[in-house]
Amino acid sequence: MEIRPLASGLGAEILGVDLAGPPGDDTVRTLRTALLDHVVVFFREQMLTPQELLSLAQCFGEPGEYPLVRGLPECPLVIPVIKEPHERVNFGGLWHSDTAYLEQPPMATLLYALATPPLGGDTLFANMYLAYDALSDGMKNLLEGLCAVNVAGKPAASRTREDMRRSHATRANDTELEAVHPVIRTHPETGRKALYVNVAHTQRFEGMTAAESAPLLDYLFSHQITPEFTCRFQWQPGSIAFWDNRASLHYPLNDYHGYRRVMHRVTIAGDRPC
C-alpha cells in the first residue's frame, strides 16, 4: 500500500489496496489512520457492488440512514446520487458538511463513482482544522462559546435536492430537521479543534436572529474555503472518496450539463459534536 498526499491542505490517494474484500484488520487500521491524518482519502480502480460498499463502511463504524432520500431497494443504506443529462442542478451542489442538521451527524462518508462525465464533476474538499487554526486568537475566543442552529431547509440547499427528491424522496420534511451544535467542535479521535459551520445548513447563532448572525457567519463561510485549505479530486469510474465529516467540507462542482453522473453513497454514524 502507498499513501500519496494530494495537496498540502488535505487529501491523499491510497494505492495498492483492493477494497472489495473487505480489507483485513491491519489494512483497516492503516486506512483509519490515513483518514485521520489527511481528512479525506481517495482510491482508484475499485469494483464494488452496493453490498460490498456497505461492508466496507461497516469496517469503520455503523452505517447510517440519510433522512431525505431513499436508498437502493436491494441495499437501503446505500444512497444513489444521480444527475441525468437533462438535469441542471446537482445533488448537494454547494459547500457543506453532511447532515449537520442532525443531532448526531455522520462521522464519515464513502462516495463511489459508477459513471462519470468525460470532463467536469470534480469535488472540492476543505480542511476545517486549518480553518480554525488560521483564525486570530480573538476570533477563536469569541467563537468558543457560541453554538449555531443548523437546518436542512435553507433554500439553497433544498434546491440541490429537488431532482433527487422528485424520484427518491422519503416522508421526512426538510423544514423539520434542525440541530444546535458548537461553532468550534473538538474531534473525538484526534483532539484537534475544527470550525463547524457551513453555508448549506448553518442558519444563525443560537440566541441571535439570522440578521444579527449574518455578518460573522458570512465571514466564516468565506474564510473556511480559503484555497490553501482545499484540494480537488477528479473522478473516474471506480473512484472512491472517503472523508472525515467532522473536520471537512466538500463541494461537488456542477459543470457537466448534458452528461450522466452516477454515484453510490454511504454515511457512517457519528456522535454529537462537542
Per-run averaged pLDDT (10 residues), the chain, 274 residues: 96 97 93 98 98 97 92 96 94 96 98 97 98 98 97 90 75 83 98 98 98 98 98 98 98 97 98 97
End-to-end CA distance of the chain: 34
DSSP 227: G
Q: Where are the alpha helices (DSSP H) in the chain?
A: 25-38, 50-58, 128-133, 137-144, 155-160, 162-168, 210-223
Query: Does residue 273 belong to any structural domain of this protein?
Result: no
Q: What is the rounded distance in angstroms from the CA atom of residue 251 to the CA atom of residue 96?
A: 7
> Phi/psi of residue 110, each to 5°?
-110, 130
Q: Note whether 32 and 57 are within 8 A (CB).
A: no
Q: Residue 135: which CATH number?
A: 3.60.130.10
Q: What is the rounded distance in angstroms from the CA atom of residue 162 to the CA atom of residue 174?
A: 11
Q: What range does the domain containing 148 cover?
A: 2-268
CB atoms within 10 A of CB 136: 8
Q: Is the dihedral of CA 165, 168, 171, 176 positive or negative?
A: negative
Q: What is the rounded distance in angstroms from the CA atom of residue 160 to the CA atom of residue 148?
A: 22
How would you label 40-60 residue by residue, b for 16+ Cβ within 10 Å and e otherwise? Answer: bbbbeebebebebbbbbbebb
> CB-based contacts of 50: which residues, under 8 Å, 6+ apart?
72, 74, 75, 78, 264
Query: Does residue 250 belong to any structural domain of this protein?
Result: yes
> 3-class SS at 127?
strand
Q: Note whether 110 and 56 are within 8 A (CB).
A: yes
In the chain, how many domains are there?
1
Helix and strand tally (H, E) in the chain?
7, 16
> CB-based contacts of 20: which residues, under 8 Å, 6+ apart?
46, 47, 48, 52, 56
Determine the pLDDT at residue 141: 98
Query: Does residue 274 belong to any structural domain of this protein?
Result: no
As annotated, the active-site residues are 96, 98, 250, 265
Determine the pLDDT at residue 266: 98
Determine the pLDDT at residue 171: 67
Query: Does residue 89 belong to any structural domain of this protein?
Result: yes
Query: Does residue 153 belong to any structural domain of this protein?
Result: yes
